[in-house]
Structure 1
Amino acid sequence: MRGTRRHLNLVRKESWMRVIDPAALRRKRINQRFSQRDLAGLVRRSQAAIHQLETGKMKTLTEDLALLIAARLFTDWEDLFILEEHEVVPRVTTEVLPSGKAQVSAA
């Protein structure tokens, strides 16, 4: 009987957004007459999170949050955020089982 080969999915992409200009984000919010608390409520985050984005203390955020903020500020997300993607390659190990067979696993 012949063994079956499994292909491990070794490469995974992680993506997130980065604020281009925190001051521009603040200006857009103020132009829409939203307080930090108002915007936070609309995107279901804390006022502190909005403050951190506007002061540059929070450098990255999820795509979902960036899209929500842009939609609530009636602007394109490209005006406020940059999409960053990185490929993550997991560590692959080979273990020899007592039966003499090799087992490959990805961590």
Structure 2
Amino acid sequence: MKQRIALKAALCMQSRLVKSYGHHMIVEGHSFYSFPDLERIAKASVGELRSIGLTRMRTEAIKAIAVAEHEGGLPSVRDVERTEDLPGIVRELTRLRGWGLGLLS
């Protein structure tokens, strides 16, 4: 999310995403939020995600990544560390909307 927008704007959008889709708890009078489960983001509609201030393209990219991870379509860190076919993993990831070579480098 921080790739092409100002850091302050990215952090604001991230905060809205966490507060809207993360789990909320109160500890000693202080509010805390967990980062949202990918399943919850994958199930959210584009309209719901757009309502927190994300552009359509960012929304579609975040949803595509969440759906791929939820369905087991993304390699784990361990897979990446152990692979002898790193170019194959890069090709696989760059097929997803929002994952370009700039993000992966």
| TM-score, scaled to structure 1 | 0.28
Greater Rg by CA = 1
| TM-score, scaled to structure 2 | 0.28
Higher relative CO (Cα under 8 Å, sequence separation at least 6) belongs to: 1
**Structure richer in strand, relative to its length:** 1
**Structure richer in helix, relative to its length:** 2
